[in-house]
Chain A
Amino acid sequence: MRLTCRYSFSASHRLDTPALSPEENRRLYGKCNNPFGHGHNYTLDVTVEGPVDPNGQVVDREALHELVKLRVLGLVDHKDLNRDIPGFLGVPTTENLAALIERTLKDHWNLAPRLARIRISETERNTFVLEAK
């Protein structure tokens, strides 16, 4: 069985890669390349998968909330994704952010079910889903 919990966080970012010229960056990323950055209210869905335990639960909700709040929300909420995240390699697109969150959760995973999926909405119109390996 799968269980999903939804969280939200707010962060700023600027999409810009040193591999391209300033003009190419502007063309590729459009408004997201604005030099001073901009922000979003992100929605994060964390899905776990495993058997239902004798207590009738896939996961201890409080333990899941604690893990996500400590390791993920503590890392990204009210932060600048370009400058405040140690070890965030690459352009802070939501694709790369999903991979960072998957890696961070896996590094600190202490729950019985497995991490099954990360889903992030950057805005209500843009959603990214990463099935955990």
Chain B
Amino acid sequence: MLLTRKAEFSASHVCANPSWSEEQNRQVYGANANPHGHGHNYVLEVTVEGDPDPVTGMVFDLRELKQILNEEIVEPMDHRFLNREVPPFDRVVPTTENLAIEIWKRMDARIQGGVRLRTVRLYETPDLFVEYQGGVCA
């Protein structure tokens, strides 16, 4: 069975490769390359997969999932400038794709026991989201 929990955080970022000119960055990242940054209300949906425990009837303790989301994602990222305050985005371009990969790494390390992390879905805006299921980014 799949279980999904939602979390929200607001953060600013700049999508730019520091070794490129402003013009090159604008060509690749468009308005996302604006040097002073801009922000989004990110919406994160984390899905875990497992069988309901025969005693508790739960796939995973939702309070624990909420706590992990808060510790790993919301507290470190909410109301932050990702490039300056949240490693590895001081050296990795914080595109929504790379942010989803980082969220996967942080969550996967904490989801233990009989359940596994299945999908990270990250909305940058209501009209754009990425879905990552781990492994090679295909």
Residue ranges of A at the interface with B (Cβ–Cβ < 8 Å): 1-7, 49-52, 55-58, 60-62
B93 touches A51 (CB 8 A): no
The one of B28, B93, B100, B127 that contacts A6, using a Cβ cutoff of 8 Å: B127
Residues of B near A60 (CB, < 8 A) are: 28
A56 and B127 alpha carbons, distance in the complex (Å): 19
Are B17 and A1 in contact (CB-based, < 8 A)? no
A4 to B130 Cα, complex, angstroms:
6
B128, A5: Cβ atoms closer than 8 Å: yes
Q: Which residues of A contact B98 (CB under 8 A)?
A: 52, 56
B81 cross-chain contacts in A, Cβ below 8 A: none
The answer to whether B138 touches A51 (Cβ under 8 A) is yes
Q: State whether A4 and B128 are in contact (beta carbons under 8 Å apart), knowing that A52-B98, A55-B95, A61-B30 are contacts in the complex.
A: yes
- Asked if B137 is an interface residue, CB under 8 A from chain A, the answer is yes
A6 to B123, CA, bound (A): 11
Additional 14 contacts, C-beta under 8 A, given A51-B138, A55-B28, A56-B95: A2-B130, A2-B131, A3-B131, A4-B128, A6-B126, A52-B98, A52-B101, A52-B137, A55-B17, A56-B15, A56-B94, A57-B95, A57-B97, A62-B30
Judged by DSSP, the binding face of B is mixed
A51-B95 in contact (CB<8A): no
Shortest distance between the CB of B118 and any CB in chain A (Å): 13
Contact pick for A58, options B17, B28, B97, B126, CB 8 Å: B97
CA distance A62 to B30 in the complex (A): 8
Q: How far is the CA of A5 from the CA of B30 in the complex (A)?
A: 16
Q: What 7 A-B pairs are tightest by C-beta distance, nearest first?
A: A56-B95, A6-B127, A52-B137, A2-B131, A56-B93, A56-B98, A1-B137
Contact mask for chain B residues 96-124; partner A; CB cutoff 8 A; 1 contact, 0 none = 11101100000000000000000000000
B9 lies within 8 A of chain A by Cβ = no
Query: Residue A52 contacts which of B28, B30, B97, B129 (CB distance < 8 angstroms)?
Result: B97
A residues less than 8 Å from B93 (CB atoms): 55-56
- B131 touching A51, Cβ below 8 Å: no
A56–B128 touching, CB < 8 Å: no
Within 8 Å by CB of A1, from B28, B29, B94, B97, lies B97
**Chain B residues whose CB sits within 8 angstroms of the CB of A3 once the complex forms:** 96-97, 128-131
